[in-house]
Amino acid sequence: MKKKVTVSSLMAKKQAGDKITALTAYDASFAKLFDEQGIDVLLIGDSLGMVLQGEEDTLPVTTTDIAYHTRCVKNGTQYAFVIADMPFMSYSTPESAYRNAAQLMAAGASMVKVEGGRWLSDTITGLVQRGVPVCGHLGLTPQSVHVFGGFKVQGREEDKAQLLVDEALALEAAGAQLLVLECIPTSLGKAISERLSIPVIGIGAGKCTDGQILVMHDMLGVSANYMPKFSKNYLAETGDLRNAVQQYIQEVKSGQFPSSEHSFE
């Protein structure tokens, strides 16, 4: 009998070495399809700015946008764990984070995700104390795209890799119960996953993290912009939506995905 995925069951997966599978979702129909195939985690990503709204980056997305799509996804979900992105500048102060996180939790999220390192420690601690579970996000953080000068791999230099390890440990210490790592070398994804007790989900972070997440439009090959190196078009391989999701799940759990061609060294 299928059981609802929780923070505790995700932790149990990490401890058992059972890979976590995750996809973004933005509406009830796709959420239901993914949920029925057995996806562990659904993320209402601010990626909706690019894949749904046609923006150049994620910055124009609002909390109201995320809340609307979170409600849609929640209505189509029975088992998967639902995480909602907190958009650009919606958590610039602890008080704004509390207010905006409350809106996303009321819309149906079971956890919120924030981008950034130790500067968020007090905010994360405050959110957790107020009953809001938090997922961190390090590496290439799309909301900081203009600081990075584009969508670039992070942590290749030794000092910057160590900084990311330190930042990850700080987020865990602050109370984050999950971490997403994006666009970092495989070896760094492995090192951080081994150092942290909380589950680490990668996107372009190699196969040694505790799980994988892809933007659904990339996984289905229908992105309006471009196909990232770290993604794979499963619909082209299977010709069927449900089979595409099943193959993605199987390849993540077996360690077949991501391969070296979808990773950074």
Where residue 32 sits, what CATH number does that domain have? 3.20.20.60
Residue 207 lies in a domain: yes
Domain count, the chain: 1
What is the pTM for the complete model shown?
0.96
Set 182, 194, 261, 265: catalytic member = 182
- The domain containing residue 139 runs over which residues? 7-262
Residue 2 lies in a domain: no
Using CA atoms, how far apart are residues 104 and 127, in angstroms rounded to an integer? 12
For residue 27, how many other CB atoms are within 10 A of its CB? 15
Residue 249 lies in a domain: yes
Contact 133, 7 (CB under 8 A): yes
Residue 147 lies in a domain: yes
**Could you confirm whether 182 is annotated as catalytic?**
yes
- In the annotated binding site, the residues are 46-47, 85, 113, 115
Q: What is the pLDDT of residue 228?
A: 85
Q: What is the pLDDT of residue 223?
A: 75
Residue 131 lies in a domain: yes
pLDDT by residue for the chain (265 residues), tens only, comes to: 889 999 999 999 999 999 999 999 999 999 999 999 999 999 999 999 999 999 988 999 999 999 999 999 999 999 999 999 999 999 999 999 999 999 999 999 999 999 999 999 999 999 999 999 999 999 988 777 656 555 678 889 999 999 999 999 999 999 999 999 999 999 999 999 999 999 999 999 999 999 999 999 999 999 756 678 899 999 999 999 999 999 999 999 999 999 999 999 8
- In the annotated binding site for Mg(2+), the residues are 46, 85, 115
